[in-house]
């Protein structure tokens, strides 16, 4: 396919897609995205046909890359998108074999889609995080063979309860010793890891559980950043970035609330009693100014963006949309209204992303 090069515009890097093979697993979480939709007992039953319900429309938008998505990008001035498999992806499957299959099939599919229009699209690789070996092998394949520009992880990995290295809830987090080889591989590949939120597994949504009794705060507004920010604090304080100082993380939604808590987090983390026992050499602000970048995905708040720029530096703030969970039009209308100096606006809109992800753009 031949494509004309678009004029320079924004670069959006947390933009979700769904491969056709993913229709089976995404149906299990359809009721969370759309409370009016009730999945059947069959895990292989796909969601409603595109357009038949709100959930069906969302599914259609996730499946589409080269039609409506690209038309909207052209209409509103989005130059380029980094695409990634929608959450929870492999992290939502507690079966090791199935999680690996979800990741490899999605990566193969997305690689082929990107090849159809590499001037407008790139990819972030999905991984099964059941163990560091499988994660590392697929990361190497995706980056070196398939040409991905980074990795996306949807918070913790579901594993069978009682699995080695899992917590009592059947979850694996990546701040543990088990995942040191994975972070070493990430550093060697020299690509960013995007840490993305996810919904809790079904067992955490039953009556009598924290989220099961409070489903009104599930999702992007509250639960996403509460869960993921815990994981980010754990990674920062674990010593991972001391062992592998060139590891680069990216966090959406203006840093999942962490920049607004950095002063207090450091204030306590730097007290002598903490400094004497903490696993990391540095405090949270250090890692947020050396290893972590944040994006505007789904958080179109000018005052908050300016605060983040002041806290961690303009070179660590990147534009993003969170399509199709938020609209391209809303994100772009907001961005056009943001009153930053021109140099800062260019850095956030596109230049920081090009540098961080080594994108083949000017």
- Among residues 25, 47, 44, the alpha carbon closest in space to that of 36 is found at 47
- Rounded to the nearest 10 degrees, the angle between the axes of helix 180-189 and helix 132-140 is 10
> Which has the closest alpha carbon to 362: 9, 70, 3?
9
How many whole angstroms separate alpha carbon 51 and alpha carbon 65? 16
First to last CA, the chain: 21
Q: Which two tokens stand for residue 12?
A: 């959006």
Q: Among candidates 318, 308, 326, 197, which has minimal Cα distance to 248?
A: 318
The candidate with the shortest Cα–Cα distance to 80, out of 340, 336, 319, is 319
82 in Cβ contact with 13 (< 8 Å): yes
From start to end of 78-230, where are the E strands? 78-85, 121-126, 150-154, 157-158, 171-172, 193-196
Tokens found for residue 189: 């590949």
Is 322 labeled as catalytic in the residue annotation? yes
Phi first, then psi, for residue 154 (nearest 5°) are -95, 75
Cα separations (Å) of 178 from 130, 236, 261? 10, 16, 29
Point out the catalytic residue in the list 322, 326, 339, 342.
322
Q: Whose CA is closest to 290, among 344, 251, 246, 252?
A: 246
CB 223 within 8 A of CB 209: no
* 3-state class percentages of the chain: helix first, strand second, coil last, to nearest 5: 50, 10, 40
Element (H, E) at 222: none
Instruction: Judge whether 137 and 107 are in contact, CB under 8 Å.
Output: no
27: left (phi over 0), alpha (psi -120 to 50) or beta: alpha
Catalytic residues, by residue number, are: 322
């Amino acid at each position: 396919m031949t494509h004309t090069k678009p004029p320079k515009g924004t670069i959006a890097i947390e933009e979700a897609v769904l491969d056709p093979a993913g229709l089976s697993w995404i149906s299990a979480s359809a009721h969370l995205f759309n409370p009016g939709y009730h999945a059947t007992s069959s895990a292989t039953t796909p969601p409603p046909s595109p357009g038949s319900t709100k959930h069906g429309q969302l599914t259609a938008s996730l499946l589409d890359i080269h039609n409506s998505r690209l038309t909207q990008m052209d209409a509103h001035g989005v130059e380029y998108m980094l695409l990634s498999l929608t959450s929870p992806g492999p992290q939502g499957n507690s079966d090791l074999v199935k999680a690996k299959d979800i990741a490899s099939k999605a990566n193969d599919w997305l690689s082929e889609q990107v090849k159809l229009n590499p001037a407008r699209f790139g990819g972030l690789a999905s991984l099964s995080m059941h163990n560091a070996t499988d994660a590392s092998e697929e990361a190497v394949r995706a980056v070196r063979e398939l040409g991905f520009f980074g990795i996306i992880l949807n918070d913790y990995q579901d594993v069978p309860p009682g699995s080695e290295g899992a917590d009592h809830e059947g979850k694996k987090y990546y701040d543990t010793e088990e995942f040191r080889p994975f972070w070493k591989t990430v550093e060697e590949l020299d690509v960013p890891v995007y840490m993305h939120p996810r919904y809790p597994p079904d067992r955490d949504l039953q009556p009598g559980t924290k989220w099961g009794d409070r489903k009104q705060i599930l999702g992007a507004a509250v639960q996403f950043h509460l869960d993921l920010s815990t994981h980010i604090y754990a990674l920062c304080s674990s010593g991972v970035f001391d062992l592998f100082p060139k590891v680069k993380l990216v966090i959406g939604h203006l840093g999942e609330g962490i920049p607004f808590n950095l002063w207090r987090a450091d204030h306590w983390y730097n007290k002598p009693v903490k400094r004497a026992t903490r696993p990391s050499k540095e405090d949270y602000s250090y890692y947020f100014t050396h290893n972590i970048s944040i994006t505007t995905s789904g958080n179109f708040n000018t005052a908050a963006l300016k605060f983040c720029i002041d806290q961690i530096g303009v070179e660590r703030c990147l534009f993003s949309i969170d399509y199709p969970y938020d609209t391209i039009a809303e994100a772009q209308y907001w961005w056009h209204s943001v009153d930053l100096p021109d140099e800062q606006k260019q850095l956030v809109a596109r230049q920081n992303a090009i540098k961080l992800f080594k994108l083949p753009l000017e």
